[in-house]
């Protein structure tokens, strides 16, 4: 027969293992979420830089004389 103390020890051990496992799972979920958010923000920043650069090129091109106008 198992003593009361051994039963308590087993309950505490199983509880600690369950908490550790759940904590690991939650940490993995959070780490994945942080990675995904970081990637999304980085992609957005890249898009903004590309849009800004395209706007600068368009602005610069609009101030250059057209080749057709130079021939006239």
Q: Is the pTM of this model over 0.75?
A: no
The predicted-structure confidence for 18-61, as pLDDT tens digits, reads as follows 999 999 999 999 999 999 999 999 999 999 999 999 999 999 99
In which band, very low, low, confident or very high, does the pLDDT at 70 lie, cut at 50, 70 and 90? low
What's the pLDDT at 71?
Answer: 60
Instruction: Report H helices in 1-72.
Output: 4-63, 67-71
Burial 4-34 (b: 16+ CB within 10 A, else e): eeeeeeeeeeeeeeeeeeeeeeeeeeeeeee
Residue 64 has pLDDT above 80, yes or no: no
Residue 62 has pLDDT above 70, yes or no: yes
Going by the DSSP 8-state scheme, the letter that residue 2 receives in this structure is -
């Amino acid at each position: 027969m198992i003593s009361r103390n051994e039963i308590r020890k087993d309950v505490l051990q199983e509880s600690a293992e369950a908490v550790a496992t759940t904590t690991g799972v939650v940490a993995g979920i959070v780490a994945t979420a942080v990675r995904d958010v970081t990637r999304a923000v980085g992609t957005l920043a890249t898009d903004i830089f590309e849009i800004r650069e395209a706007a600068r090129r368009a602005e610069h091109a609009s101030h250059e004389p057209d080749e057709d106008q130079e021939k006239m």
